[in-house]
């Protein structure tokens, strides 16, 4: 297999990696199996569940829907890059505070989708929040607490509470 | 004494690990020198296996070992209630649904293992595939297990059903059916096993019943219980599905053969094909009721499709029957429940454990009765709802804490508050 | 052996690659169709040409009286683009209904068109907008073909293996035109259309002067309902006889029965969706296409 490997450069959580990748390797496999970033989960491998969500060049993408070599030159944020060392990101704190974490398997993807929602609009309406997490399945919470957590985070982060 | 737990909202102990992505699920475990395992599933839902040709699969680079039943003649069946499920189906034996396993393939990488699986050739003789439990119950239906297609029968008898129907002004008969439901735990099934120096097999895999899984794995393999250790990593959802043995037994078999750590991750499709479901059930209800809405008799037949293996089926279907009148008091009840084998994916526990299916049936029945009597459906429910002193169909007297009426009233209030209109 | 991957950074490089290896190459843009199709069997791909980095195909431009959408424009870009929102809001709406935010951030219009699914959500608005596909090869240069001619069957189009779509082009709709997109799926998100419909009406007051109706998932390709289009011409949109006319839709379509719906259901839904689309236009629940 080794003969067809491609050289790529990717920045993951502010760290630059220069790597040889197999062309059939998916980005989710690169992150998990090769970089050991297992916070990114795989729930379906087909773009349906959002457990593998990462932020790539500022946009959420399903890392199971990207070949690793296609990520060449990109900047990636995974759950491990949220927060600041030991300090949790306000979104992560809000998820804990609001009880938005049950089994937790959807959580990394949800947190990143939440970040994308708040990056786009620091003061999102409930509808925007629901649309923003519509690519992330959660089988445990029923979503309400996740929506509450994102509203809570918006408030804490200075977006101001919006009761729309 | 004042504490800070009861009455307070307490963050989950592992919430921080989960929001940071540090929590380790079975999918996230890696070990040095680790091998990957996948299994070959049945080519047909009901068939006798004649030949399993491994030659081409073994030639795939990176394949370390392929295990079939022929390697483990002493392997025993497993199962939560009845030991009716084989971890491996051998030559001359039957596969009973498309999730049955014919071979355990172990190799250096998952890609190689997947390739090898596609190269195994299987010859088999097809049998009638039974997907309808009613067909399974017919005299001339082929038997899926030697003892017959009816796994077990449960009965219920309270009061005097004949008198109950005589007292009725109206008798309503209906049949209701529910379908398979998949739990879709967001974490696909996965596990890792290691062999310790003293030959103890350690298995990390999501499970709801560590102790049961441990005993069942040990008995199937003919090992002392002490030789099996089950370690619970973080679980990405269970909802009843993970009461059953899923990959644990295959992992144990594999690690014992190859003596290197073995990991497996199911694809979502494989999880759906091979693991338990909520039972589809058929309910036949004949209900007697007076003009004023008082229930007088309730006769129920419940048929639960437990698929190829019993799993928790006998208990689940039985619960379906015992809850046949729901939270409504009926003095005269008679019923029978059949747990039936088919060639569908096996069904087991799932949130509600049989009571969920029944709720659909008895609430529909109550609505139909209300409509026929021209009574408000909420009044009909309040009139018959359990209260302190009521007796359930299986004879349990409710002596305290019966909140059905309050619940109905509060639910109606909430419904109306949100703009709902009750006709 | 394994598969061979190549990333092209310039269009010419991509065309050269296709010229040489087209027959054994799978083009990958956002990958949201390719990676589903080859799920767990990526090793069966032979060569993969990654075009995601072709920056030159990522813009939406107005050129004279036409709008040109680069083939690598994502659904998110379409949804957010002011040019599209102002001139073809039905296309923005359709793009916004694709999959999920994550899918829209990767899925491209070129991929949607090349994939040629009868349920593809941008295809119906593109047909209603009278769009053409611009594709190019090293040998035969650039071709512009109407989308209607481009699509020939489920997953099938007229392009050769050495060709690459560079853009979708459509005329800027006239000031008196209004469009609407309506989709029925099983869920609000992540739902492939059971049926979808796009409508462009040229109105003179309430009178339909000009009309294009495209339907998805009711025939081997997304297609125009030409019979009904003709019957609607000269009619008053606000009058109830339009619903009767829409009864003729079944002559324009040939739905199949599958997991998303039976033939009859799809026929009924097609009529219902077009009715809803006209209603949206009458009730002005859509932005005007003309600026
Ligand atoms: C979870 C999920 C949900 C989805 N929901 C929807 C939906 O609601 N509606 C909908 O319409 N689609 C949906 N899709 C399908 C898909 O996202 C779209 O069709 C998307 O537009 C494809 O674009 P892509 O760039 O990802 O295509 P790719 O997968 O990269 O390519 C698709 C096909 O087009 C070819 N191709 C790509 N670009 C070019 C080009 N420039 N020239 C020539 N050939 C090319 C490829 O070779 C391949 O055959 C969904 C997909 C997933 C996984
Ligand atoms: S694993 Fe990528 S979307 Fe489900
Ligand atoms: S918390 Fe379990 S899937 Fe969301």
- Predicted confidence (pLDDT) per residue in C46-100, tens digit: 999 999 999 999 999 999 999 999 999 999 999 999 999 999 999 999 999 999 9
CA–centroid distance, A50 to ligand 2, in Å, is 5
Set of chain A residues whose Cβ sits within 8 Å of the Cβ of B24: 38
Radius of gyration of chain C (CA): 19
Is residue A92 less than 8 Å (CB to CB) from chain B? yes
**Based on the structure, what is the number of domains in chain C?**
3
Beta-carbon pairs below 8 A across chains A and B? 103
> Which string of DSSP letters, residue by residue, matches C88-134?
-HHHHHHHHTSS-HHHHHH-BHHHHHHHT-TT-TTHHHHHHTT-EEE
Angle at B308 between CA B304 and CA B314, to 5 degrees: 40
Share above pLDDT 90 across residues of chain C, in percent, rounded to a whole number = 90
Please indicate whether, in this complex, the C-beta atoms of C43 and B267 are within 8 angstroms of each other. Answer: no
**A22, pLDDT greater than 50:** yes
pLDDT at C1 over 80: no
pTM of the model: 0.95
Residues A67, C32: C-beta atoms closer than 8 Å: no
Cα A136 to averaged position of ligand 3 atoms, centre (Å)? 10
Domain with CATH 3.10.20.30 in chain A: 2-81
Same domain, C200 and C239: yes
Shortest CA distance from B61: residue in chain A: A1
Q: Is the pLDDT of residue B338 over 70?
A: yes
Of C153, C171, C189, the residue at which a domain comes to its end is C171
Band (pLDDT 50/70/90 cuts) for residue B1 is low
Please give the CATH number for the structural domain made up of B33-127+184-266.
3.90.1170.50
pLDDT in tens, C228-240: 999 999 999 988 7
Are C35 and A67 in contact (CB < 8 Å)?
A: yes
Verify that C158 and C191 share a domain, yes or no.
no
Taking CA atoms, B171 is separated from B288, B289, B295, B373, C142, in Å, by 4, 6, 10, 11, 76
φ and ψ at C142, to 5 degrees?
A: -90, 140
Query: Do residues C208 and C157 both lie within one domain?
Result: no
The pocket around ligand 3, CB under 6 angstroms, is made up of: A 102-106, 138-141; B 186, 237
CATH of domain A90-157: 1.10.150.120
Across the interface, do A69 and C5 touch by the CB < 8 Å criterion? yes
Which DSSP helix (H) or strand (E) runs through C273? helix C263-282
Nearest-CA neighbor of B349 among B243, B246, B245, B274?
Answer: B243
Range of the domain at C213: 177-289
- Can you tell me which atom of ligand 3 is nearest the CA of A140? 2
**How many C-beta atoms surround the C-beta of residue C176 within 10 A?**
15
The minimal CB distance from A103 to the residues B9, B111, B186 is found for B186
Write out the DSSP string of C150-215.
HEEETTEES--TT-EEEEEEEEPPPTTEEEEEEEE-SSSSS---SEEEEEEEEEETTEEEEEEEEE
Tell which CATH architecture fits domain A2-81: Roll (3.10)
pLDDT at A163 (0 to 100): 41
Residues with CB under 6 A from ligand 1: A 46-48; C 26-34, 36, 51, 71, 98-99, 103, 106-108, 110-112, 114-115, 120-121, 164-165, 190, 192
Provide the shortest C-alpha distance from residue C195 to chain B (in Å): 25
Question: Would you place residue C40 in the very low, low, confident or very high pLDDT band (cuts 50, 70, 90)?
Answer: confident
Q: How many angstroms separate the alpha carbon of residue C107 from the centre of ligand 1?
A: 5
For B184, the closest of A45, A95, A139 (CB atoms) is: A139
- In this prediction, residue C228 carries a pLDDT of 96
Range B133-182+277-417 classified under CATH 3.30.56.10: no
| DSSP bridge pairs for C142 | C136
Q: What does the pLDDT read at residue C290?
A: 36
Which pLDDT band holds residue A15 (cuts at 50, 70, 90)?
A: very high
Question: What are the structure tokens assigned to C51, written together?
Answer: 């075009």
Nearest to B89 by CA among B99, B75, B101: B101
| pLDDT tens digits along B125-166 | 999 999 999 999 999 999 999 999 999 999 999 999 999 999
| B71 vs C284, residue with greater confidence | B71
C221 and C256 housed in the same domain = yes
ipTM score here? 0.95
C contact chains, 3+ CB pairs < 8 A: A, B
pLDDT band at A164 (very low <50, low <70, confident <90, very high): very low
Q: Which pLDDT tens digit goes with each residue over C156-179?
A: 999 999 999 999 999 999 999 999
Query: pLDDT tens digits, residue range C129-142?
Result: 999 999 999 999 99
How far, in Å, from the CA of C117 to the mean position of ligand 2? 22
Residue of B186, B241, B351 to mutate, ligand 3, most atoms within 8 A of C-beta: B186
- The pLDDT tens digits of the residues spanning A117-152 come to 999 999 999 999 999 999 999 999 999 999 999 999
Q: Where in chain B is CATH 3.90.1170.50?
A: 33-127+184-266
- The boundaries of every CATH 3.30.365.10 domain in chain B are 133-182+277-417
Q: Percent of chain B beyond pLDDT 90?
A: 96
Task: Say if residue B291's pLDDT is above 80.
Answer: yes
How many cross-chain Cβ pairs, B to C, lie less than 8 Å apart?
6
A40 near B CB under 8 A: yes
3-state secondary structure of C274: helix
A108 CB within 8 Å of a chain B CB: yes
pLDDT band at A86 (very low <50, low <70, confident <90, very high): confident
Distance of CA B309 from the midpoint of ligand 3 (Å): 29
How do strand B281-289 and strand B262-265 relate by DSSP bridges?
unpaired
Split at pLDDT 50, 70, 90, the class of A160 is: low
Q: How far is CA A156 from CA A97, A153, B144, B273, in A?
A: 12, 5, 60, 44
Q: Which of A42, A46, A107 is nearest residue B19 as measured by Cβ atoms? A: A107
Q: Which helix (H) or strand (E) holds B265?
A: strand B262-265
- What pLDDT score was predicted for residue B192? 98
- Ligand 1 geometric centre to CA of C117 (Å): 9
User: Which residue lies with its CA nearest to atom 3 of ligand 3?
Assistant: A138
Q: Are residues C181 and C280 in the same domain?
A: yes
Q: Give the per-residue pLDDT at C288.
A: 46
Question: Is there a single domain that holds both residue C119 and residue C208?
Answer: no
Is there a contact between A104 and B22 if contact means CB atoms under 8 Å apart? no
């Amino acid at each position: 297999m080794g003969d067809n490997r491609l050289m790529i450069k990717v920045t993951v959580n502010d760290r630059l990696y220069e790597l040889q990748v197999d062309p059939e390797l998916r980005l989710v496999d690169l992150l998990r199996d090769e970089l050991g970033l297992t916070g990114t989960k795989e729930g379906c491998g087909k773009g349906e569940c959002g457990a593998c969500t990462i932020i790539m060049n500022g946009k959420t993408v399903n890392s199971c829907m990207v070949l690793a070599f296609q990520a060449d030159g990109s900047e990636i944020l995974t759950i491990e890059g949220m927060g600041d060392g030991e300090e949790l990101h306000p979104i992560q704190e809000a998820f804990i505070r609001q009880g938005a974490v049950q089994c937790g398997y959807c959580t990394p993807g949800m947190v990143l989708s939440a970040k994308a929602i708040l990056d786009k609009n620091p003061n999102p309406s409930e509808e925007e929040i629901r649309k923003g997490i519509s690519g992330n399945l959660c089988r445990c919470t029923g979503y309400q607490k996740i929506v509450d957590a994102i509203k809570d985070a918006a408030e804490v982060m200075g977006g101001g509470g919006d009761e729309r | 004494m004042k504490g800070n737990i009861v009455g307070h909202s307490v963050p989950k102990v592992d919430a921080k690990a989960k929001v940071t992505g540090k929590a380790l699920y079975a999918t996230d475990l890696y070990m040095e020198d680790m091998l990957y395992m996948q299994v070959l599933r049945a080519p047909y839902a009901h068939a006798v296996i004649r030949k399993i040709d491994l030659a081409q699969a073994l030639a795939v680079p990176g394949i370390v070992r392929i295990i079939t039943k022929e390697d483990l003649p002493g392997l025993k069946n497993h199962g939560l209630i009845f030991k009716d499920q084989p971890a491996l189906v051998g030559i001359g034996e039957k596969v009973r649904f498309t999730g049955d396993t014919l071979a355990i393939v172990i190799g250096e990488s998952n890609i190689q293992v997947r390739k090898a699986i596609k190269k195994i050739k299987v010859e088999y003789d097809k049998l009638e595939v039974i997907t309808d439990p009613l067909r399974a119950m017919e005299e001339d239906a082929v038997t899926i297990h030697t003892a017959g297609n009816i796994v077990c029968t449960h009965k219920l008898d309270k009061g005097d059903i004949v008198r109950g129907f005589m007292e009725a002004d109206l008798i309503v008969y209906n049949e209701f059916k529910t379908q398979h439901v998949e739990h879709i735990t967001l974490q696909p099934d996965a596990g890792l096993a290691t062999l310790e120096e003293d030959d103890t097999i350690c298995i990390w895999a999501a499970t709801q019943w560590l102790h049961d899984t441990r005993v069942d794995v040990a008995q199937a393999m003919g090992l002392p219980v002490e030789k099996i250790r089950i370690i619970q990593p973080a679980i990405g959802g269970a909802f009843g599905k993970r009461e059953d043995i899923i990959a644990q037994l295959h992992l144990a078999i594999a690690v014992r053969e190859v003596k290197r750590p073995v990991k497996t991750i199911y694809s979502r499709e494989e999880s759906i094909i091979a693991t338990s479901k909520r039972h589809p059930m058929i309910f036949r209800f004949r209900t007697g009721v007076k003009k004023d809405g008082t229930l007088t008799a309730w006769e129920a037949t419940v048929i639960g499709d437990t698929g190829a293996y019993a799993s928790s089926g006998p208990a689940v279907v039985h619960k379906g029957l015992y809850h046949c009148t729901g939270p409504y008091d009926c003095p005269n009840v008679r019923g029978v429940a059949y747990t039936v084998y088919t060639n569908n994916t096996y069904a087991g526990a799932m949130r509600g454990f049989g009571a969920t299916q029944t709720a659909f049936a008895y609430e529909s029945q109550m609505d139909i009765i209300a409509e026929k009597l021209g009574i408000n459906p909420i009044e009909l429910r309040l009139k018959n709802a359990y209260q302190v002193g009521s007796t359930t169909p299986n004879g349990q007297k409710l002596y305290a804490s019966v909140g059905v009426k309050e619940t109905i009233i509060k639910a109606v209030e909430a419904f109306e508050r949100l703009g709902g209109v009750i006709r | 052996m394994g598969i061979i991957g190549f990333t092209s950074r310039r269009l010419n490089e991509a065309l050269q690659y296709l010229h040489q290896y087209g027959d054994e190459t799978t083009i990958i843009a956002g990958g949201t169709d390719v990676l589903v199709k080859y799920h767990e069997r990526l090793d069966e791909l032979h060569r993969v040409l990654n075009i995601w980095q072709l920056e030159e195909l990522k813009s939406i431009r107005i050129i004279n009286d036409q709008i040109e959408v680069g083939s690598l424009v994502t659904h998110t870009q379409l949804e957010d683009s002011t040019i599209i929102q102002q001139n073809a809001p039905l296309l923005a709406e359709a793009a916004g209904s694709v999959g999920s935010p994550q899918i829209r951030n990767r899925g491209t219009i070129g991929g949607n068109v090349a994939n040629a699914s009868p349920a593809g959500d941008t295809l119906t608005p593109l047909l209603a907008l009278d769009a053409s596909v611009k594709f190019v090869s090293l040998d035969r240069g650039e071709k512009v073909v109407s989308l209607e001619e481009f699509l020939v069957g489920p997953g099938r189009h007229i392009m050769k293996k050495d060709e690459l779509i560079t853009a979708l082009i459509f005329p800027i709709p006239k000031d008196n035109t209004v469009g609407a997109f309506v989709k029925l799926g099983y869920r609000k998100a992540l739902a492939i259309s059971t049926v979808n419909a796009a409508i462009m009406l040229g109105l003179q007051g309430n009178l339909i002067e000009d009309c294009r109706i495209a339907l998805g998932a009711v025939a081997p390709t997304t297609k125009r309902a030409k019979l009904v289009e003709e019957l609607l011409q000269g009619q008053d949109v606000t009058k109830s006889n339009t619903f009767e006319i829409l009864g003729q839709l079944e002559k324009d379509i040939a739905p199949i029965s599958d997991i998303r719906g039976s033939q009859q259901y799809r026929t009924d839904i097609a009529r219902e969706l077009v009715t809803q689309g006209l209603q949206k236009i009458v009730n002005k629940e859509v932005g005007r296409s003309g600026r």
